[in-house]
Amino acid sequence: MDALNLAEYLLKDIRQQKADMTQRLADGAVETIQDYRFMVGQIRGLTQCEEHIKTAMKGIELEDG
CB 57 within 8 A of CB 4: yes
Mean pLDDT by 10 residues, the chain (65 residues): 85 97 95 96 97 87 62
Give the angle 9-62-43 at the CA atoms, nearest 5°.
35
Q: What is the pTM of this model?
A: 0.83
- Give the residue ranges of DSSP H helices in 1-65: 2-27, 33-64
CB 30 within 8 A of CB 39: yes
pLDDT of residue 31: 94
Give the angle 29-37-18 at the CA atoms, nearest 5°.
65
